[in-house]
Structure 1
Amino acid sequence: MTSVLDELQWRGLIHQSTDPDALRSELAKGPMTYYCGFDPTAPSLHMGNLVQILVLRRLQLAGNKPLALVGGSTGLIGDPKESAERTLNSKETVHEWVGRIRAQIEPFLDFDGAYGATMVNNLDWTEGLSTLDFLRDIGKHFRVNKMITKDAVATRLKSEEGISFTEFSYQILQGMDYLELFKRYGCRLQTGGSDQWGNLTAGTDLVRRVTGESVHLLATPLVTKADGTKYGKTEGGTIWLDPELMSPYAFYQFWINAGDADVINLLKIFSFLDREEITELETETAEKPFARAAQKRLAGEVTTLVHGKTETEQAIAASQALFGRGALEELAPSTLRAALSEAGLVQVQDPQLSVAALFKEAGLTAGLGEARRAVAEGGAYINNERVVDADAPVPGDRRLHGRFLVLRRGKKTIAGVEFV
């Protein structure tokens, strides 16, 4: 039977660990309680956080007990960035974001049975802690000469801006989390990203100093493309998990546009497909890359995990319908608007604008003359129907959901119009 560590290794999810052999031995003995922390420094989690959520889930499926920590106190401080001091958010904002992030994590975990998950908030054990108790009971176990060697701290110390005592203390707060979870739940493993290694080791060091016990860390690598560049950003910004910040359609499009050199790695990290299925897709990608079978499977799997089956089906339907391979009328207004926003959506007020004027406004042609030529050559479509009169307005009853038109020039160039 393949151990969970072997599975994580095959999926490229182990970058660093404190003592791999000891961790393997403890995992083999039976259920291990482990945790990962998520700070509410934004209203949503993103692609990088999804890696950690799925690691929590994989370890739970292997028969271990997860603690998912949302940092109500660490979120008030913020993990130090190498570039500059963070802007502190209000307590009310952080409290709201704690609830939003908790709601994003919960669907991925089981909360019943022998391996049931527990949600925790570090504000529970820090809010009532006095400054004197914090300095006497916790601060005395940290050595400043070691704290300043952490990458982000060292970088900031060399900058003109420096680093505030507030952000400098972040690693102490995170270290407290491991100690508290060790005492309350017998937690013996923390997972996180490799860029957090300095903060992660603050916890193991504190547990050892206070209790004499050795506990474990497991860090995942940063997810990068085959050329070494980072994932997680598009021209539109971060790959958010919240549908209000990134529509399920845009989310689906991000994954389906993965390169052939990256798609198998992404399937290993972000899907629960087994080795046999992924190997088959790897072979198909090598032999028939034009079919993009792996990309389609990746986009479907990840979008379903994050947004559910219905939204995934809508995203697929929109992808097909925009190019004449499905019924535009069957798309939900939110999905259609999201799809058109990705393609390029313009808002117009004049319901009497001609077809040529609409194509010009949408940016599909440089001017009215070019729009008329496109119509005359049979290469202009509205709602997937070929246009024959460039100078006529589009009847109001042609609008999808009463306000949208899908404009297409040729086979692949799409834009949208929304009447306001």
Structure 2
Amino acid sequence: MRTLGKLLVMVFAVCMAGQVQAQQINFNRNLDNFRYPDKRGVNVFEAPKDTLSTFDGVDVRVGGSFALQYQAIENENAGLAGYELKEAGSNFNLATANMDLDVALYDGVRMHLRTYLSSRHHNEPYVKGGYFQVDKLDFIKEGFLEDLMQYTTIRIGHMENNYGDAHFRRSDNAQALHNPFVGNLIMDAFTTEVGAEVYYRRNGFIGMVGFTNGKLNQDVEEDETGKTGGASFLAKLGYDKQLNDDLRVRLTGSLYNTGYVSHSYLYSADRAGARYYDLMQALESEGDDFRATRYDPSLMNNITAVMINPFVKYGGLEFFGTVEMAKGKASFETDERTAMQYAGELIYRFGADEDIYVGGRYNLVDAEDISGEDVTIDRFQIAAGWFMTRNILLKAEYVVQNYNDFGATSILNEGKFDGAMVEAVISF
């Protein structure tokens, strides 16, 4: 893996050198049907669909993201013997880095690949995922099904699945520029599975259906049932329209459903880990529980999840909401359990180009835990941010998170953490 890391760094350096040389001739890093990783991608959800073509041969766009936080957060619990927490002080976290390759391969055909060069859980570079996107079928025959393809997009890959809208605003390792806050949601719906998604967008209406193999870690090994995996079905239906110069409205409903899978990672797939470091971890535990401060309802072998997301932006004021229900069970359970999540964030952006913002978010999870307890977790965040340029964001957050109704044998019994974080993000 060290050799792989050195190789990736060398490739990155060579590509960047070539990019700089090319930019001396023509500084153009624009791609068709592309969500930009800089400020232009804020409040963009699915990559835009535009039949206007600028393709003029294979074009490689090398990009990256870097993020660094200073954390000053304290945590506590009931402090019962054997369930004490590690002490958390104030200092910098590990800096994180991404490398992106986005390649225009043909007119209407694009590839994306994201590699985590540095992340909380892994000390070596590794591929997060990627996809092959088709917006035209001219590689079959010029004008082939053009009346259909002007509204249709096809994605195939081992990729971040499009369940819900919250994943478009979350921090993805070092890519934190689109997230107005530092932390993601408590139940952080994010997974990468092998599959395909087909989109149809017309006059503001959005429709998507997708299928995956339901696996985060790919292999052909059979489990105890004699299966190598299962299948997941995804769907999204919504409306997104700029009604006038000031008002934009979006409302979507999403579905993620499995029959049987060997292990569902919908709420635990992010190997980059939670943004709040070294909190709510047992004193005697070894290593870093990188998912701590998030909540996974452990619906491991059967899950149906539904997420509804309203988004309204009027001038500089915007609201984004999440209402989510996840229902299912592990294979050893007889009855299904349900977890509910609610979140609402209000952001006000101002300045000459909305370069400054302030906002708040409230997030609540109410779940039937795998331990048999009915538990709740609530979090309140206030944040402020400044886009120094369209590629540089400085943001600060104050956060309070409370754990309620966890039993005496849980490390989260009467748990709480609160404090501040400052994060600097570069993305290009």
Q: Same fold (TM over 0.5)?
A: no
Bigger helix share: 1
Q: Give TM-score, length-normalised by structure 1.
A: 0.23
Q: Which has the larger radius of gyration?
A: 1
TM-score by length of 2: 0.23
Bigger fraction of residues in strand: 2
